[in-house]
Chains A and B, each alone.
Chain A
Amino acid sequence: MRDSREFILQIAQLNKTYSGNQVLNNVNFDLKLGEVHALVGENGAGKSTLIKIIAGVEKPDPGAEIIFDGCPAVNLSPSKSVQMGISVIYQDISLFPNLSVAENICIGGQKGPFIKWQQMFETARSALNKLGAIDIDPHMALGEISIGQRQMVALARALTHEARVIIMDEPTSSLSANEVKALYNTIQILKNENKSLIYISHKFEEVFRVADRISVLRDGELIASKDAREFDEQSLISMMVGREIRFPPLHNEEVAGKKIFEVTGLSKEPLFRDISFSLYENEILGMTGLVGAGRSEMAQTLFGLIKADKGRIFMGGKEISIKSAVDAIKNGICYLPEDRRGQGIFRIQSMAKNITAAKLESILNRYRLLSRPKEMAVSEYYMDRLNIKPRLPDISADKMSGGNQQKVLFSRWLNARPRILIADEPSSGIDVATKAEIHKLLRELAASGVGVILISSDLPETLAVCDRILVMRNGNIVEQISSMESSQEELIRKGLMG
């Protein structure tokens, strides 16, 4: 090994498997003292898993070697990693909305049984000042300040706790321009104090601005780890994407048919505004953009879960009004949510109950009661059609793999007879084979007359599957392009930078 005094953190042979799915594959990663090390990669490349392992939230597969400050770190736990001086700045998770800003900054570091309020406020004040966050009052309750300000508070905590390794996960995602500037200054200050930073970002501009070294993760493997000056934007993008388009293009050959669905001027402040688009027969419409661009919220509005401020929706030329999800389903609008665990799957219920949940009417007998034979028949039909194995409708959903769960969700909405199906990141966290099956299914649906909208951050996927692509940024549609005539690089630039 190299001189260990130069490195604060060294990780070797790191593997991580989730239920048979390898998310990290023999990763070797190190972090020098006083270095800003940027970690880039597409969604699902394994960045957050790597961070969670360093923070002690997840355990690596056996055989990994983690050396912190020259000593092997075994059995990391969240509190142990905090004690060692590793501080992860999550968006909101580690903060206490019911306590004051000052306490959020100082908590965990007090000595003695009593709180020294005066001293605490001073410490907090000076930490915040150091970050240039002079507008944040340490006396305020954390719940009362903006998300961006909370990010600064989390940073201030890392600063106060004398963390030696600070991990920032998309730190600028909710910061204003001034706050971003302050953040750059802070990073400089931290570097001067010989602290080490791991910086995760999708925004290349930032990465090139702050990073000394850049590591690229792709599909769980560390592709490159080099001095930042050795990269340029082009090379970084091609490394991130890396592969040839893996999915065979599934574009539809025919010229788009008649218009089946139209949205005009749909707005919901502050989430999104003035969204207008049309969907044609036989077409898959892609929607891409960064997480937080307003895509999911827009979809949930069409599905009736969020009430729009204004805007009109037309189905087959006729205007429809959607006040609730019940209305949406009645009109044939179905939404397959992004967060499978939190919004999609009833984990403690059987596959069959999951499949039939959205359209119980489909399994009623003539007395308007649920019919078990019908329920079995419906479930087995979809389990066959979507190739869900093992074909056991009574098994509880949390025993199945993510891919199977996603297929169950597709079954649920197919059973609801959609006219418009909005699939929100349907292939995230799913193995390649299932992804391909899902893509094929989407195409089949489109061919059979269902209007398909695919929301995805996975660019190769979007380009391969969709016929037309809308790019959203900060709640606006900024671009509308045909997938035939654009490349990933072009898409990345339009959606992520701009």
Chain B
Amino acid sequence: MKALVSKDQNHEMTLLFILIVLGIAFSIFSESFFKIGNMLAISAQMAELSLLTLGMSVCIISGGFDLSIGAMAGLSSVCLAVLISSGMDMGLTIILVLGLLLLCGLINGILIGYLRINSMLVTLGTSSVFMGIAIVISQGRAISGLTEEFAVFGQQYLGVIPVQTMILIVILAFSFLILSYSTWGRRIYLIGSNYEVARFAGINCGFNIMLVYVYSAAMAFLASLILTSRLATGRADLGETYVMQSVAAAVFGGIGINGGSGNLAGAILGVAVFVIISNGFNMLDFSQYAQQIVIGSILIVFLAYRAQRNQE
């Protein structure tokens, strides 16, 4: 059995197992946990972190990091709010802001892919700049005055299914497709496994890495679209707490921190574990602080266990 299941699949099985155990535990202690309504709520809660984690995961798979996703989300949120509250057409606004974020991603990508500057340094610096622009535009305030129409992304349902869940499903399917079945996705794995080998295999590393950061900027945009709509405000700092959470979820979901391994299904399971813990704890009236402790502990214990096993 063990020989047939590859390491990656093994890891996802473990995560699934953790999810089921958590689900049973919460169902025992709280009647309302295992209801369709709550399940849909969980899927909606997952959307924002999931989208950012997708972006982060692809960066990590390619052998880098994008610490600027939070700042990009903040910048996008502020721009969306300012433009829409000033009466601009929603469709045009979305196109403009998406364009702006892709430009941000392009800047990251050029510095990292072509100039070969360390991704952590670059995104650390650009995150300050993006955040700075967002704060300047918003003058440090939360911007309200968003239209009814704009609420569609974070507050409304398609039938019984929350719109953000739909967005997540579509994006997840799309991302899974391009990462597993496009030449770009394959090359990202190869570059992440060993940059030098990829170079010697004739892969255009600079260009492919650049696209990684454009992709993660696009994810930051979508996450901020949902967040801004859900909160009905534009805020510069709205993405900040998600940065480290997305790293944690990705790594927890089996994305190898050294690049080249892991897959998006695992990353989403990682997000699911985090969100279910937080949802379940809320039902049980546990404080969010306890959640933080549990999530941190699981992360460290689980990773230590895995690192230990890999050594053997």
Contact = CB atoms under 8 A, between A and B. Distances in A.
Is B a genuine binding partner of A?
yes
Interface of A: 303, 305, 324-326, 328-329, 334-335, 337, 342-349, 353, 357-358, 360-361, 364, 368-370, 394, 412, 416
23 contacts: A305-B199, A324-B204, A325-B199, A325-B200, A326-B204, A329-B202, A337-B200, A342-B197, A344-B200, A346-B190, A346-B193, A346-B260, A348-B193, A348-B256, A348-B261, A349-B260, A353-B190, A357-B201, A357-B203, A361-B183, A369-B182, A370-B183, A370-B186
Contacts of B203: 325, 357-358
Nearest to A325: B202
Contacts of B182: 368-370
Q: Which of B190, B197, B261 gathers most chain A CB within 10 Å?
A: B197
Contacts of A369: 177, 181-182
B196 A343 contact: yes
A416 B201 CA distance: 10
Contacts of B260: 346, 348-349
Contact of A349 (B193, B199, B200): B193
Nearest to A371: B181
Contacts of A337: 200
B204 A360 contact: no
Interface of B: 6, 177, 180-183, 186-187, 189-190, 193-194, 196-204, 256, 260-261
Given A325-B203, A337-B200, A357-B203, 12 more contacts: A305-B200, A325-B200, A329-B202, A342-B197, A346-B194, A346-B198, A358-B202, A360-B186, A360-B187, A370-B182, A370-B183, A412-B201
Contacts of A305: 199-200
B186 A345 contact: no
A343 B197 contact: yes
- The winner among A305, A324, A337, A357 for most chain B CB atoms within 10 A is A357
A494 B161 CA distance: 78
Nearest to B194: A346
Given A346-B193, A347-B194, A348-B260, A360 B200 contact: no
A121 B256 CA distance: 45
A357 B199 contact: no
B259 to A, nearest CB: 9
| Most-contacted residue by chain A among B6, B180, B181 (CB, 10 A) | B181
A186 B196 CA distance: 39
Of B182, B200, B256, the most chain A CB neighbours within 10 A belong to: B200
B197 A346 contact: yes
Contact of A342 (B177, B180, B196): B196
Contacts of B180: 370
Contacts of A412: 201
Contacts of B190: 346, 349, 353, 357
Contacts of A349: 189-190, 193, 260
A328 B200 CA distance: 11
Contacts of B200: 305, 325, 335, 337, 343-344
A364 B183 contact: yes
B183 A328 contact: no
A370 B186 CA distance: 9
Contacts of A348: 193, 256, 260-261
* A-B CB proximity, top 5 nearest: A325-B202, A369-B181, A343-B200, A360-B183, A329-B202
Nearest to B185: A370
Given A348-B261, A370-B183, A328 B194 contact: no
Contacts of B186: 353, 360, 370
A335 B202 CA distance: 9
A303 B189 CA distance: 22
B37 to A, nearest CB: 37
A394 B203 CA distance: 21
A408 B309 CA distance: 28
A420 to B, nearest CB: 13
Contacts of A358: 201-203
A405 to B, nearest CB: 12
A412 B186 CA distance: 15
Nearest to B177: A369
Nearest to B183: A360
A303 B203 CA distance: 12
A41 to B, nearest CB: 29
Contacts of B194: 346-347
B254 to A, nearest CB: 13
A335 B193 CA distance: 20
Contacts of A343: 196-197, 199-200
Nearest to A359: B202
B210 to A, nearest CB: 15
A368 B200 CA distance: 24
A353 B203 CA distance: 13
A303 B201 CA distance: 10
Contacts of B201: 325, 346, 357-358, 412
Contact of B197 (A345, A360, A364, A394): A345
A347 B193 contact: yes
| A335, A360, A416: most-surrounded residue (chain B CB, <10 A) | A360
A357 B181 CA distance: 13
A194 B87 CA distance: 90
Nearest to A360: B183
A423 B238 CA distance: 54
Contacts of A353: 186, 189-190
Nearest to A342: B196
A498 B48 CA distance: 69
A438 B6 CA distance: 31
A357 B192 CA distance: 13
A329 B202 CA distance: 7
Among A342, A346, A361, A412, max chain B CB count under 10 A is at: A346
Contacts of A344: 197, 200
Contacts of A324: 204
A393 B93 CA distance: 48
Nearest to B206: A324
Nearest to A364: B183
B263 to A, nearest CB: 13
Contacts of A416: 202
A283 B260 CA distance: 39
A166 B256 CA distance: 41
A18 to B, nearest CB: 20
A248 B1 CA distance: 46
B177 to A, nearest CB: 7
Contacts of B261: 348
A248 B311 CA distance: 44
Nearest to B182: A369
A305 B196 CA distance: 11
B116 to A, nearest CB: 14
A290 B190 CA distance: 32
B238 to A, nearest CB: 36
Nearest to B178: A369
A328 B202 contact: yes
Contacts of A346: 190, 193-194, 197-198, 201, 260
B281 to A, nearest CB: 36
